[in-house]
Amino acid sequence: MDFELIYTAFPKILGGLDKTIILALASLSIGIILAVIIALAELSRYSIIKNVAKGYVYLFRSTPLLIQIFLIYYGSGQFHNFLDSIGLWMFFKDAWFCAILALSLNTGAYTSQIIRGAIETVPFGSIEAAYAIGMTKLKAFTRIIFPIAIRIALPAYGNEVILMVKSTSLASTITIMEITGVSKKIIAMTYQPIEVFMIAGFIYLMLNFILTQLMVILERYLMRHTY
Amino acid sequence: MKKIIQSLIILSFLAANFYGSAFAATVKIATEGAYAPYNFKDAAGNLVGFEVDLAKMLCEKAKLKCEIVEQPWDGIIPSLVAKKYDAIMAGMSITAERQKTISFSRSYSTEPLRFAVLKSNSLAKMDVASKYLSLPKLDSGEKKSIMEIKKAMQGKVVGVQTSTTHEAFMKKYLPEIALKSYDTMDNMLLDLEAKRIDAGFTAISSIKPAMEKNNTIMEVGPSVTGGILGQGVGVGLRKEDTDLRNKFSSAIESMMKDGSLQKLSVKWFGFDTAPRN
Amino acid sequence: MDLSLLGWGNSGWLDEFSIGMVMTFSVSIVAFIISLFFGVVFANFKLSSYRSLRIFGNVYTTVLRGIPELLVIYLFFFGGGALLRSIASALFGYDGYIDLPVFIIGALCIGLSSGAYSTEVIRGAILSVRKGQLEAAYSVGMSRRQVAIRILFPQAARYALPGLGNIWQFVLKDTSLISIVGFVEIIRVATLGAGSTKQPFLFYFIALLLFLFLAWISQRVFYRIEAWSKKGEKSLQ
Q: What is the ipTM of this complex?
A: 0.89
* DSSP-derived secondary structure letter, A22: H
Identity at B152, one-letter amino acid code: A
The pLDDT tens digits of the residues spanning B205-218 come to 889 888 888 889 99
> In the structure, what pLDDT confidence band is assigned to residue B103 with cuts at 50, 70 and 90?
very high
pLDDT > 90 fraction of chain C, expressed in percent and rounded: 62
Chain B residues bordering chain C (beta-carbon distance below 8 Å): 13, 16-17, 19-21, 24, 33-34, 36, 40-45, 70-72, 74-75, 78-79, 82-84, 183-184, 186-187, 189-190, 193, 213-214
A171 neighbourhood in chain C, CB within 8 Å: none
Stretch C78-85: mean pLDDT: 74
CA distances from A170 to A186, B180, C27, C35, C105 (A): 17, 16, 20, 22, 19
Q: How far is A85 from chain B (nearest CA, A)?
A: 14
Lowest average pLDDT, out of A125-129, B168-172, C9-13, goes to C9-13
Contact A23, A178 (CB under 8 A): yes
d(CA A33, CA B271): 57
Stretch A161-184: mean pLDDT: 95
Please judge whether C68 and A183 are an interchain contact, meaning their C-beta atoms are less than 8 angstroms apart: no
- Whether residue A76 lies within 8 A of chain B, CB to CB, comes out as yes
SS3 sequence, chain B?
A: CHHHHHHHHHHHHHHHHHHHHCCCCCEEEEECCEECCCEEECCCCCEECHHHHHHHHHHHHHCCCEEEEECCCCCHHHHHHCCCCCEECCCCECCHHHHCCCEEEEEEECCCEEEEEECCCHHHHCCCCCCEEEECCCCHHHHHHHHHHHHHCCCCEEEEECCCHHHHHHHHHCCCCEEEEECCHHHHHHHHHCCCCCEEEEEHHHHHHHHHHCCCEEEEEEEEEEHHHCCCEEEEECCCCHHHHHHHHHHHHHHHHCCHHHHHHHHHHCCCCCCCC
Which residue, among C166, C208, C216, would best test binding to A if mutated, counting the most A CBs under 10 Å from its CB? C208
Three-state DSSP at A64 gives coil
A78 neighbourhood in chain B, CB within 8 Å: 194
A95 neighbourhood in chain B, CB within 8 Å: 196
- Whether residue C198 lies within 8 A of chain B, CB to CB, comes out as yes
B187 neighbourhood in chain A, CB within 8 Å: 74
CA distances from A169 to A4, A17, A142, A176, C62 (A): 25, 11, 35, 9, 18
Q: How far is B117 from chain A (nearest CA, A)?
A: 16
Residues 6+ apart with CB under 8 A from C17: C186, C189, C190, C206, C207, C210
- Whether residue A222 lies within 8 A of chain B, CB to CB, comes out as no
Between C27 and B131, whose confidence is greater? C27
Q: How far is A164 from chain C (nearest CA, A)?
A: 10
Q: How far is B238 from chain A (nearest CA, A)?
A: 16
Q: How far is A41 from chain C (nearest CA, A)?
A: 22
Q: What pLDDT is attached to residue C5?
A: 72
Nearest 5 degrees, angle CA A82-CA A85-CA A86?
95
Instruction: Tell me what percent of chain A is helix, strand and coil, each rounded to the nearest 5.
Output: 85, 0, 15
The pLDDT tens digits of the residues spanning B2-49 come to 666 666 555 555 555 444 444 447 899 999 988 889 999 887 778 999
Stretch C187-205: mean pLDDT: 90
The pLDDT tens digits of the residues spanning A46-103 come to 999 999 999 999 999 999 999 999 999 999 999 998 999 999 999 999 999 999 999 9
Stretch C199-219: mean pLDDT: 95
C17 neighbourhood in chain B, CB within 8 Å: none
Q: How far is B28 from chain C (nearest CA, A)?
A: 12
The pLDDT tens digits of the residues spanning C112-151 come to 999 999 999 999 999 999 888 889 999 999 998 999 899 9
Which among A61, A70, A204 has CB closest to C66? A204
d(CA C111, CA C175): 10
Q: What pLDDT is attached to residue B3?
A: 64
Q: What pLDDT is attached to residue C86?
A: 75
Stretch C18-35: mean pLDDT: 96
Contact C194, C84 (CB under 8 A): no
Task: Look over chain A and give the mean of its residue pLDDT values, rounded to a whole number.
Answer: 92
d(CA C178, CA C80): 14
Q: What pLDDT is attached to residue B212?
A: 85
The pLDDT tens digits of the residues spanning B79-89 come to 888 788 999 99
Q: What pLDDT is attached to residue B134?
A: 86
Please judge whether B34 and C85 are an interchain contact, meaning their C-beta atoms are less than 8 angstroms apart: no
- Whether residue B144 lies within 8 A of chain A, CB to CB, comes out as no
pLDDT > 90 fraction of chain B, expressed in percent and rounded: 59
Between A97 and C154, whose confidence is greater? A97
Please judge whether B41 and C192 are an interchain contact, meaning their C-beta atoms are less than 8 angstroms apart: yes
> In the structure, what pLDDT confidence band is assigned to residue C212 with cuts at 50, 70 and 90?
very high
C98 neighbourhood in chain B, CB within 8 Å: 16-17, 19-20
Helix (H) or strand (E) holding A192: none
Q: What pLDDT is attached to residue B21?
A: 44
Between B178 and C94, whose confidence is greater? B178
pTM: 0.84
CA distances from C169 to A64, A80, C185 (A): 10, 33, 16
Which residue, among C108, C179, C192, C203, would best test binding to B if mutated, counting the most B CBs under 10 Å from its CB? C192
Chains that touch B (3 or more CB pairs under 8 A): A, C
Distance of CA A140 to the CA centre of its chain: 28
Burial of B130 (0-12, 13-18, 19+ CB in 10 A): buried
Chains that touch C (3 or more CB pairs under 8 A): A, B
Q: What pLDDT is attached to residue A20?
A: 97
Contact C114, C167 (CB under 8 A): yes
